[in-house]
Structure 1
Amino acid sequence: MTSPAAASRRIRRPAWAGRNYSLLTASAVVTSLGSNGALIAAAFAVLESGGDSGDVGLVAAARTLPLVLFLLIGGALADRLPRHRVMVAANALNCVSQAAFAVLVLTGHPQLWQMMLLSALCGTGQAFFSPASEGMLLSSVDGEEAGRAFALYRMAMNGSGIGGAALGGALIAAVGPGWVLAVDAAAFAVAGSLRAFLDVSHIPPREPGGGMLADLREGWQEFIGRPWLWSIVLQFAVVNAVIGAAEAVYGPLVARDSLGGPGPWGLALAAFGAGTVGGALIMIRWKPRRLLLTGTLCVFSLALPSAALAVPVPFGALVGVMFFSGVLVETFGVSWMTALHQEIPEEKFSRVSAYDWLGSLAMLPLATALAGPAENAFGRTASLWGCAGLVVLLTAAVLCVPDVRNLRRRPAAATADRTVAAPAGPVDALGSADAEGPAGRLG
């Protein structure tokens, strides 16, 4: 018979892995499993309905445009309302929109405008979900183990993405994209149910503010007063745009023409996910002092997948490139989350996260919509080399910002004082990390 003491030892979690952290991690695993396959499914649903690269780009842009438009409102609401309620409502909208998308694909030939509308609804849900989710995660951990907690969270989320991308590609090849979209709808339903049990009693009540515009101005001042923050977000405005276009538009086309279809492309995306798991494992134990300098150097690797598709390299080489870039970019992802947790006051987490997401995704709708015309004008190979070149150029430019090079990790006691800290100026004396993606949304 097992003693109570032995049972207690068996179920005991680390001090930093509380109830909220566990629920957030479990729900992120579920949604990542469904969404990674659904992104591939949406592209192939367009192609199977008779669409071309321009149509794939329009559907992708329809998803990201409302995400950009509503992010700031979502961030302000998440700092005013209980964050878990915002998350559950957004998950419900995503569930309904993906279920309708699945029904359209399974029952006939969906029209382009229908797919664009449902993708737009899904993007709207994501706009309200993302700032609330990131704010909830940042508030769920504390102390010197925050970096380890973020690494483990991202490892679990990205690890499930491996199965989601690989299984999604295989299911599309076997039964078509409609069933993969249906699985994604079910995943949103399960994740929303888990997030309904999050506890927000530890978060202090918000003081009455001056309204939505005043909240947004306060978040903007917090954002613009930190050079490391706005410079990296500006960098990723371009990096995420060109990588998103390469992944959402050019990748499926290269897979169709040179790799054998959706199955190999799903495995290549899964290799990137496997790389992020490896990177998270490294970051669980490694605590570099200059987190943003280390992370930004690793962002150069995001140029490699576009270059590999431009050649195009054989399938095995593409898998290796995707894995390698995943390992390195995860170092940035964990570093970014750690810096936000350390430097941003808790009551402003969601608003700052909203500006982060907005800047990081602002150019993505334009890039995905223009991917098809760019291919027609310059050719697919030249367009992909252009994507790789822009990643290298912008990453090199960010390294010229002193705050990015000098921001250091601080001890837990100093981090606790961030709730009263002024916006950071030069940080030579200061101490310094998943969406989806962060900046670093692809990480």
Structure 2
Amino acid sequence: MRKPAAQRNYLLLTASAVVTNLGTHGALIAAAFAVLETGGDAGDVGLVAAARFLPLVIFLLIGGAVADRLPRHRVMVAANTLNCVSQAVFAALVLSGTAELWHMMVLTALCGTGQAFFSPAAEGMLMSSVTGEHAARAFALFRMAMNGATIGGAALGGALIAAFGPGWVLAIDAAAFAVAGALRAFLDVSHIPERTPGGGLLADLREGWHEVASRPWLWSIVAQFSVVVAVVGAAESVYGPLVARDALGGARPWGIALAAFGAGTIGGALLMLRWKPRRMLLVGTLCVFPLALPSAALAVPLQLPGLMAAMFVCGVTLEVFGVAWMTALHQEIPEEKMSRVTAYDWFGSTAMLPLSTALAGPAEELFGRPQALWGCVALIVLVTALVLLVPDVRNLTRRTKEVAAGVGAPAGAVSADAEGAAGRDR
């Protein structure tokens, strides 16, 4: 890591990511069960999930452009403040027994808006905190800490929902955003080169789009994850809680299954601390195929041990892809354009989430839940196989000496991963 400001930033970013993930993954379960406790069905759960993702898609590109213009830590703190307030109001309504469907949709939409501005700024800040030589190890350590918090957050969230109800878990998430925002207020941007005045917001967006469109490996994987994230999001946000309620015993086993996924991500991060595959994107893309396993396990449905095994394997392979993807972005994209490029990455990866989650309920009614889940499996396998046909995905190789001095080798330097919305820092 660059010293001293960047090293301090890396530690603050890691600590704040741990705090938010402890609250977030319990809150995601809590939101679904809050809907179910008010008498909602699969369609209502899907509408609340869609209300979160729609503003995320709408504001992501603007958020990326803003994060490349303003100090990124200020954007992050403002977004965390919005998330804290919206989750606190959500918790109060659920605890008081006055929450209605439209309340939950509006409040989750505010949370999605905050994430739209936060995510590009956070990724740009993280990328500027490491050097090319140690980037993969730093990303793996960061993700291991973040995903370790995911295990505790999901397991604790499921247990607290079963014991006390979803309202208290939402309150914990609001407190976590407050603490994380306070930590991020101390980030130092003095080591980041000052931005030169641009030609306006639209010009910034065009420049970011050019960076994406000129790299086939980048736009093809973003397109792939627009489908993968959509179907995984529908399975996790809508079908997972319903299968847990009907076949596994409720929120607690679903929380345990999500914790198994988190354990898998830690295993994947530990692997990537030592393994540096030369063809990063080829290895990463092959590791996307197992993302279909949880949907298949829910379709059967497998009992908790089988579901945990599927989630664990999914976590391992997703983490391998995630580190490979971040390393590729860090190697190929100039630092001053990083937030705009990651905004396009997020935008493409999440663009279909509102539609997929909103249609999850009607799809269940039309085809049946198992058939809808098997459809998710088929789509993941199909689009991942298609991406392997792109030469740059197969041939992009890791460089060392060329990027040891910093970020942003030219796009043409292809000599021989998009986790998208899944497992990202909040």
Equivalent residue, structure 1, for 2:136: 147
Query: Of residues 409, 412, 418 in structure 2, which corresponds to 1:424?
Result: 412
Instruction: Give the Å deviation of 1:329.
Output: 1.1
User: 2:281 aligned with 1:292, yes or no?
Assistant: yes
CA contact (8 A) 1:254 1:309 kept: yes
Equivalent residue, structure 1, for 2:115: 126
Local SS of the residue matching 2:287? helix
Local SS of the residue matching 1:18? helix
CA distance in 1, matches of 2:137, 2:341: 22
CA distance in 2, matches of 1:124, 1:354: 13
RMSD over aligned Cα, in angstroms? Answer: 1.7
Equivalent residue, structure 1, for 2:420: 439
Instruction: Give the Å deviation of 1:414.
Output: 3.6
C-alpha change, 1:275 and 1:235, in structure 2 (3 Å) is same
Local SS of the residue matching 2:132? coil
* Length-normalised TM-score, structure 1: 0.93
Instruction: Give the Å deviation of 1:144.
Output: 1.4
CA contact (8 A) 1:16 1:146 kept: no
CA contact (8 A) 1:32 1:161 kept: yes
CA distance in 2, matches of 1:349, 1:162: 29
Instruction: Give the Å deviation of 1:15.
Output: 9.0
Q: How does 1:332-411 map to 2 (within 5 A)?
A: 332-411=321-400
C-alpha change, 1:376 and 1:346, in structure 2 (3 Å) is same
User: 2:207 aligned with 1:218, yes or no?
Assistant: yes
CA distance in 2, matches of 1:111, 1:417: 50
User: 2:18 aligned with 1:29, yes or no?
Assistant: yes
Instruction: Give the Å deviation of 1:89.
Output: 0.2
Q: How does 1:31-70 map to 2 (within 5 A)?
A: 31-70=20-59
Instruction: Give the Å deviation of 1:316.
Output: 0.7
Which stretches of structure 1, 4 residues or more, deviate above 2 A after TM superposition? 12-17, 412-421, 437-443
Q: Aligned partner of 1:229: which letter?
A: L
Q: Aligned partner of 1:77: which letter?
A: V
User: 2:244 aligned with 1:263, yes or no?
Assistant: no
Q: How does 1:74-153 map to 2 (within 5 A)?
A: 74-153=63-142
Instruction: Give the Å deviation of 1:404.
Output: 0.3
Local SS of the residue matching 2:186? coil
Instruction: Give the Å deviation of 1:397.
Output: 0.5
Point out the more displaced range, 405-414 or 153-162.
405-414
Instruction: Give the Å deviation of 1:418.
Output: 5.3
Q: Aligned partner of 1:291: which letter?
A: M
Local SS of the residue matching 2:20? helix
C-alpha change, 1:382 and 1:90, in structure 2 (3 Å) is same
Structure 1: any 5+ residue segments left out of the alignment? 1-11
Equivalent residue, structure 2, for 1:205: 194
Q: Aligned partner of 1:384: which letter?
A: L
Instruction: Give the Å deviation of 1:301.
Output: 0.3
CA contact (8 A) 2:277 2:283 kept: yes
CA contact (8 A) 2:86 2:108 kept: yes
CA distance in 1, matches of 2:106, 2:368: 29
Equivalent residue, structure 2, for 1:174: 163
Deviations 1:257-303 (A, max 9, x none): 00000000000001000000000000001111001100110100000
CA distance in 2, matches of 1:261, 1:113: 24
Q: Aligned partner of 1:366: which letter?
A: L
CA contact (8 A) 2:5 2:190 kept: no
Instruction: Give the Å deviation of 1:424.
Output: 3.5
CA contact (8 A) 1:332 1:440 kept: no
Deviations 1:308-361 (A, max 9, x none): 000001111111111111111110000000000000000000000000000000
Q: Aligned partner of 1:424: which letter?
A: G
CA distance in 2, matches of 1:16, 1:200: 8
Q: How does 1:185-334 map to 2 (within 5 A)?
A: 185-334=174-323
C-alpha change, 1:419 and 1:318, in structure 2 (3 Å) is closer
Structure 2: any 5+ residue segments left out of the alignment? none
Point out the more displaced range, 407-416 or 354-363.
407-416
C-alpha change, 1:223 and 1:13, in structure 2 (3 Å) is closer
CA contact (8 A) 1:16 1:142 kept: no
Aligned residues: 424
* Length-normalised TM-score, structure 2: 0.97
Point out the more displaced range, 411-420 or 268-277.
411-420
CA contact (8 A) 1:360 1:441 kept: no
CA distance in 1, matches of 2:225, 2:261: 18
